[in-house]
Amino acid sequence: MNFDMSPYGAYIWPAYAISALALIGTTAWTLAAWRRAKARLEALEKPARGKP
Amino acid sequence: MNWLFRYANPHEFMRLSGMVLPFAAIGAALCVLAALYLGFSAPSDYQQGRTVLILYIHVPAAIMAMTVYGALAVCSLLSLVWRHPLSDTAARAAAPLGALFTALGLITGSLWGKPMWGTYWVWDARLTSFLLLLFLYFGYMALWNAIEDETRAARAAAILALVGAVNIPIIKFSVNWWNTLHQGESIMSGEVAPIFLAPLLLMMAGYGLLFLTLWMVRIRTAILERRARNLMQAGP
């Protein structure tokens, strides 16, 4: 693999860094929202399940 | 259309998406890693030098920006014609992801334009219509948040999405219809050398699978949130 970007490193690395940051950040944010929604629903369903 | 309604049922969707999700997520990761390996191993382009590496992130982002809008428009049409609530949920869940891909397409394109064209931005037809796509996504999301009644919000947003769909063929054919600084279509015309095409196609598959993964998770999240809201309204 060749990581020598000269003389265009100032354009290539930011393009990759911004893309990686945005996509990884969105993935993390999406998964966190899913976990929050799941935990909230479970908390709401728990008392309902415990009812006689 | 019966098959569609069968899988558009929230319960069926949760079951089916739960089965597909791990494969889509793993597939996305593998495609992106393979594309990065092949891309960074490929030689420099004889004209563009190493900036050809931006091709692998700019083109998939731009294609996904338009594909996601297409999916959003189809879901909006299904919502308007058949009033299926899952179509609204799917359309709403797709919008921020589409906006993200559009923004990435604009930013990476701009960073590619400076060394190749000598400028970050020009108001040519391709770039301007693509910027309009970003505003359409923002408008769609703003409309959803501006109207309190969900049914009315869904209807208004779906109409906006369908009207905005006119912009997709304009983006696609802008390089043919007008004299633009942006280059013309090169993938389908076979102008991309196989050594650059392989990582590009892999990255496109990776971006597509990543979108599918995130879209399904976002729809599943919205379904759980709706269930939680219904439980709250039903009371103890």
A3 CA: distance to closest CA in chain B (Å): 7
pTM: 0.93
**Is B8 a member of any domain?**
no
CA distance B115 to B67: 28
Question: Which two three-digit tokens encode residue A15?
Answer: 């393009």
Beta carbons within 8 Å of B60's beta carbon, 6+ residues apart = B200, B203, B204, B206, B207, B208
Q: Which residues of A touch B (CB under 8 A)?
A: 1-8, 11-12, 14-16, 18-19, 22-23, 26-27, 30-31, 33-34, 37-38, 40-41, 44-45, 47-48
Neighbouring CB atoms inside 10 A of B21's CB total: 15
All residue ranges of chain A with pLDDT < 70 are 47-52
CA distance A6 to B42: 15
**How many angstroms from the chain centroid is the CA of residue B233?**
34
Write out pLDDT tens, residues B59-118. Answer: 999 999 999 999 999 999 999 998 887 899 999 999 999 999 999 999 999 999 999 999
**Is B182 a member of any domain?**
yes
CA distance B142 to B48: 39
Write out pLDDT tens, residues B176-212. Answer: 888 877 877 777 777 888 899 999 999 999 999 999 9
Residue B46 pLDDT greater than 70, yes or no: yes
Question: Which two three-digit tokens encode residue B48?
Answer: 């563009």
**Is B13 a member of any domain?**
no
The residues with which B45 forms a beta bridge, in sequence order, are: B49
Question: Residue B127, SS3?
Answer: helix
**Is B215 a member of any domain?**
yes
- The string of DSSP codes covering A7-40 is T-HHHHHHHHHHHHHHHHHHHHHHHHHHHHHHHH
Q: Residue A46's pLDDT is what?
A: 80
In 3-state terms chain B splits into helix, strand, coil percentages (rounded to 5) of: 80, 0, 15
Q: Does B100 touch chain A (CB under 8 A)?
A: yes
- For chain B, give the mean pLDDT: 92
Question: What is the rounded radius of gyration, in angstroms, for the C-alpha atoms of chain A?
Answer: 22
**Is B10 a member of any domain?**
no
- The amino acid that residue B163 corresponds to is V
What are the C-alpha distances in Å from B235 to residues A41, A47, A50, B183, B223?
14, 11, 15, 59, 19
- Please name the member of B40, B210, B218 whose beta carbon is closest to the beta carbon of A1: B40
Q: Residue A49's pLDDT is what?
A: 61
Question: Residue B49, SS3?
Answer: strand
Beta carbons within 8 Å of B88's beta carbon, 6+ residues apart = B75, B79, B150, B154, B157, B158
Percent residues over pLDDT 70 in chain B: 96
Q: Which residue has the tokens 């309204």?
A: B233
Is A37 in contact with B221 (CB distance < 8 Å)? yes
End-to-end CA distance of chain B: 38
Is B69 in contact with B138 (CB distance < 8 Å)? no
- Nearest C-alpha neighbor of B166 from the set B83, B95, B70: B70
Q: Do A15 and B50 touch (CB under 8 A)?
A: no
Q: Do B58 and A8 touch (CB under 8 A)?
A: no
**Is B141 a member of any domain?**
yes
Nearest CA in chain A to B212: A27
A21 CA: distance to closest CA in chain B (Å): 11
Domain count, chain B: 1
Q: What domain range includes position B218? A: 20-234
**Is B1 a member of any domain?**
no
**Is B4 a member of any domain?**
no
Is A19 in contact with B112 (CB distance < 8 Å)? no
What is the number of H-type helices and E-type strands within chain B?
8, 0
